[in-house]
Structure 1
Amino acid sequence: MTSSPVWRRADSVLVDAVCQRSEMGGGEIARCGGRRLTQVPVGLWNSTVRLFLDRNLLVSLPANSFCGLSLLEELDLSHNQLSSLEAGCFRGLESSLRLLDLSSNRLSSLELAALGGLRAHANLTLNPWHCDCRMQLSTPRLDLDSSSLSEVVCQTSDITNRGAAGIPLVLLLEDWDLCRSVRRTTDVVVLVTMLLWFSTVVFYMLFYVRQNRKEARRVVVPIFTLRDPRTETHSL
C-alpha cells in the first residue's frame, strides 16, 4: 500500500526528465519530442491538453497508452517508427481528442479496434498504407485532413495488378469497394444495363399485344344462320 505513491513519484520524476512542461489556459502542454523515446512516458500529467511525442523511436502503441489523460485534445505522434496500433491504444481519449497526427510513420493498416470510439481530425500522410477493407471501414471514423488527402497514398492494395498502387486512398475509394474488391462504376453500369434490358422487354411485350389487337379487329368473322327445313316447308 505504501509503495504505490513512491512508484508514482518515481514515474513523475522520469517524465519531468524527458518532457518539457508548460501551462496554458485550462491545462498543460507536454513536449516530449526528439528524445529518442521507445515508449510513451508513464506518469504524464492528468491535466495535459496537448502532448507532443513527435520525432521519437516509437514502434507501437500498446493498449491504454494514454490512460488517465481525459483532457487531452491534441496528440502529435508524427515522425516516429510506428508500424502497429494495438486495440485500445487510444482508450480514454474518445470524448476529448480533437487532433491526431500520425504522419511520417510506418503504418500500413488502420484497425477499428485501435480507434475504438475515437473521432478526431487526423493526419495520416506519409505512411506505407495497404488499402483494404479495414482501411475502407476505419477512415470514415476519422475526420481526415482535407488539405492532405492526396498524400494518403496506397502503397499496396488488395486490388492487385490493376494500377491501384500509388493512388491516393480517397480516389481509390471513389471507384472501388475494397470490402468486395469490385469497381463501383461497374456496379452502376450493370444496373443501368439491366434496367435498359428490362425496359426493352416490357416495351416489346406491350407492342406485341397492341399489334395483335389491331390484327384481330381487321379479321371479319362470317356469321352462318342455320335454318330448320321443317320450318321452311311449313311456311310454304
Structure 2
Amino acid sequence: MIPTPDLSHLTKDDYEYVYEPAEDTFLFLDGLELEVDELRTSKPSICLEIGSGSGCVSAFLASILGTSTALFLCTDINQFASSCTLATGRQNKTPLDPIIGSLATPLLQRLRHSVDILLFNPPYVPTNMDEADGAQHTAGIQGSWAGGTDGMQVTDVFLKDVEVLLSDTGKFYLVAIKQNDIPGIRHRMMTEYGLKSVIITQRRAGREHLFIIKFSR
C-alpha cells in the first residue's frame, strides 16, 4: 500500500482557503494505486493536475512514479492552493510545479499533445449557475466544489481541451459523481474526441456516489 502524502505542514488556517482532502481525494488516490503498474510501465514525462488544491494527489502520483524523469505541473485558480501545493511538494520531497491559472489555459498551446498523465478532481457539486460563476471569479475555496448546473459547468469547459492536451499514449483521470451523468460524459468523449473510457473504481460517500474514470485514445 502506497502511503498517503504527508500533509502535516498544512494547518486549520490553510483549510479556510484551500480544499481539505476528503473522500473524493482518497478515492482518487485509491484509483491511481490500482493503476500503479500501468502508470510506471508507461514512463510518463509530463504529468498535469488541474485544480491541485493541497497538492495531495500530485504528490501521491509523484511517489508512484518517482521524480527523476517526470515533470509534475499543477494549476489552480486559487493562489493559496498553489502555495499549499508547492509546500506539499517540499514536505514530501517531490518537485511539484504549481501555476496560478484557470484550468489548463496557461499551458494549453505549449503542452499540445504532450501530457502523459492528466488529473482532474473538478468542482462537481450541482449548484446554481451564478454560484459557480461567482466561485470561479473570486478564485476562492468555493471554486473547488461549486459545479453549476448538473455539477458540470466547469468540467464541460475543460473536457473540450483534453484531447488537445493528451499525448499519443496519454491517460486522463477524472473524478465525477452520479449526478454528473457518467454515461453521458463517456459517450461524449468517445463520439466527439475519440477517447475511450473505463470506470476504474467507485464508492458511495454519504449522499455522493463517486467515480474515477480513465480516458485514453
Higher relative contact order (CA 8 A, sep 6+): 2
TM-score, normalization by structure 1: 0.26
**Greater fraction strand:** 2
Larger Rg: 1
**Greater fraction helix:** 2
TM-score, normalization by structure 2: 0.28
